[in-house]
């Protein structure tokens, strides 16, 4: 294991983190009705076992819709702690969107061998650095997908929840040339922690850094000097697991990276929730922030009829009346007009 802490301290910190997440999971279930007993659904995802050296020891699962069009977009999805790729897909609806609108998916999945709570190790320097660990494994998955399918290299996106959201921050910082945009849901800024001991404090309150200091962390993660990925930040105002102050730190980090003023933005209401947007000199939206009033820790979804019949969307999938997956797909230009009006 790649750890500097004594094993006893590491396990103690892991148990504390696990208890916090279990409490959040219990709270999230209160927002959805008790599920009925149903047969387990067959996963729509297909595992790819050979995709590179895989130094982070992650699983690669994919969804490729029938008759994938040429130069199709690709979305990488990273689940949260205590979750699996299948569970996150069922709750978030990404494969349904991919089938309807013609794009491919990669799900990276964490194992308990890597992390007892199935959290991506965004806080371990080896896993959060370009060219090594889990970050390189995810990069290799993208390379494998491009080699086997007709993927448009200019339309590759990434999104994730909680530890998965923090890992999105890692990927946008360390491989900015790969991704056109990212969606960070209840996540943390890049560089928020550099070791297990710093994780819990960072989740509760990010370190006091200036916008430039946050931005410098991203700029130092690679030698890339080109256009940076767009960033969409989603956070519940009542998140007790990853404090909403992390959304503010993310905003400071990425406004600085994009060279836009944090004070100049437009604000609209989407499905009753606040959306703020920051644009560059060309007028293109480079950063958006969705603050979901009253929501705790999880991915905001709009519960479908099918989910209503089975009782809900699952732990950490919170029915907020707005589908973050759909709105991310729309903002990335993935939703085809003929199907845009259909509810998801």
> What are 240-299's pLDDT values in tens digits?
999 999 999 999 999 999 999 999 999 999 999 999 999 999 999 999 999 999 999 999
For the residues 224-245, what does the mean pLDDT come to? 97
**Pairing verdict, β 104-109 and 59-63:** antiparallel
Of 202, 220, 210, the C-alpha closest to 163 is 202
pTM score of the predicted model: 0.86
Asked if residues 285 and 278 have their Cβ atoms less than 8 Å apart, the reply is yes
Looking at 137, 162, 288, 323, which residue is catalytic? Answer: 162
> For every residue of the chain, which 3-state class applies, written as one string?
CCCCCCHHHHHHHHHHHHHHHHHHHHHHHCCCCCCCCCCCCCCCCEEECCCCCCCCCCEEEEECCCCCCCCEEEEEEECCCCCCHHHHHHHHCHHHHHHHHCCEEEEEECCCCCCCCCCCCCCCCCCCCCCCHHHHHHHHHHHHHHHHCCEEEEEEEEEEECHHHHHHHHHHHHCCCCCCEEEEECCCCCCCCCCHHHHHHHHHCCCCCCHHHHHHHHHCCCCCCCCCCEEEEEEECCCCCCCCHHHHHHHHHHHHHHCCCCCCCEEEEECCEEEEEEECCCCCEEEEEEEECCCCCCEEECCCHHHHHHCCCCCCEEECCCCHHHHHHHHCCCCCHHHHCCCC
Which pLDDT does position 32 carry in this prediction? Answer: 41
Within 13 A of 277's CA, how many CA atoms are on the CB side?
A: 14
Contact 41, 307 (CB under 8 A): no
Residue 306: its pLDDT value, please?
Answer: 45
Q: According to the model, what pLDDT value does residue 163 have?
A: 98
Asked about 223 being catalytic, the answer comes back as: no
pLDDT value at residue 316: 87
Instruction: Kindly indicate the confidence band of residue 344, based on its pLDDT and cuts at 50, 70 and 90.
Output: very low
User: 182-217, pLDDT tens digit by residue?
Assistant: 999 999 999 999 999 999 999 999 999 999 999 999
Residue 20, pLDDT score: 56
pLDDT higher than threshold 70 for residue 74: yes
What per-residue confidence (pLDDT) applies to 305?
55
The pLDDT value given to residue 303: 74
Confidence at residue 43, expressed as pLDDT on a 0 to 100 scale = 75
pLDDT in the model for residue 228: 98
Residues 6+ apart with CB under 8 A from 305: none
Q: Are 318 and 298 in contact (CB under 8 A)?
A: yes
Residue 171: predicted pLDDT: 98
**Percent over 90 (pLDDT), the chain:** 80
Mean pLDDT of 216-232: 97
Cβ atoms 111, 57 nearer than 8 A: yes
Q: What is the average pLDDT across 320-327?
A: 96
The pLDDT value recorded for residue 3 is 40
Q: Give the residue from 80, 96, 85 showing the smallest Cα distance to 318.
A: 80
Cα–Cα distance between 323 and 93 in angstroms, integer?
9
Who has greater pLDDT, 13 or 173?
A: 173
pLDDT at 54 over 50: yes
Q: Which residues contact 39 (CB under 8 A, 6 or more apart)?
A: none
Q: What is the mean pLDDT of residues 229-238?
A: 98
Q: Would the pLDDT of 310 be above 50?
A: no
Band of residue 29 on the pLDDT scale cut at 50, 70, 90: very low
**Mean pLDDT to the nearest integer, 121-149:** 97
How does 144-178 read in b/e, with b if 16+ C-beta sit within 10 Å? bbbeeeebeeebbbbbbbbbbbbbbbbbbbbbbeb
Distance in angstroms (rounded) separating the CA atoms of residues 50 and 25: 33
């Amino acid at each position: 294991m790649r750890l500097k802490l004594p094993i006893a301290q590491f396990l103690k910190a892991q148990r504390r983190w696990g208890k916090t997440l279990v409490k959040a999971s219990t709270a999230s279930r209160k927002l959805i009705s008790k599920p009925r007993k149903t047969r387990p659904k067959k996963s729509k995802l297909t595992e790819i076992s050979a995709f590179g050296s895989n130094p982070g020891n992650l699983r690669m699962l994919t969804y490729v819709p029938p008759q994938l069009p040429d130069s199709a977009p690709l979305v990488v999805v990273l689940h949260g702690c205590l979750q699996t790729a299948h569970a996150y897909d069922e709750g978030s609806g990404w494969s349904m969107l991919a089938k309807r609108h013609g794009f491919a998916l990669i799900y990276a999945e964490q194992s308990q061998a890597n992390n007892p709570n199935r959290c991506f190790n965004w806080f371990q320097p080896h896993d959060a650095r370009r060219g090594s660990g889990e970050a390189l494994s995810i990069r290799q998955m993208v390379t494998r997908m491009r080699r086997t399918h007709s993927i448009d290299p200019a339309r590759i996106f990434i999104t994730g929840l909680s530890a998965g959201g923090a890992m999105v921050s890692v990927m946008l910082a360390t491989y900015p040339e790969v991704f056109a945009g990212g969606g960070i849901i209840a996540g943390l800024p890049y560089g928020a922690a550099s070791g297990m001991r710093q994780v819990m404090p960072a989740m509760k309150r990010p370190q006091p850094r200036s916008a430039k200091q946050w931005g410098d962390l991203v700029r130092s993660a690679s030698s890339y000097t080109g256009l940076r990925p767009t960033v969409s930040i989603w956070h519940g105002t009542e998140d007790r697991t990853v404090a909403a102050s992390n959304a503010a730190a993310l905003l400071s980090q990425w406004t600085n990276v994009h060279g836009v003023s944090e004070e100049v933005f437009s604000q609209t209401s989407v499905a009753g929730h606040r959306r703020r947007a920051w644009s560059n000199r060309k007028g293109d939206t480079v950063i958006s922030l969705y603050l979901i009033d009253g929501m705790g820790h999880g991915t905001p979804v709009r519960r479908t009829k099918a989910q209503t019949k089975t009782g809900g969307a699952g732990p950490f999938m919170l029915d907020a009346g707005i589908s973050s997956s759909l709105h991310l797909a729309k903002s990335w230009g993935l939703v085809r007009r003929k199907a845009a009006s259909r509810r998801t």
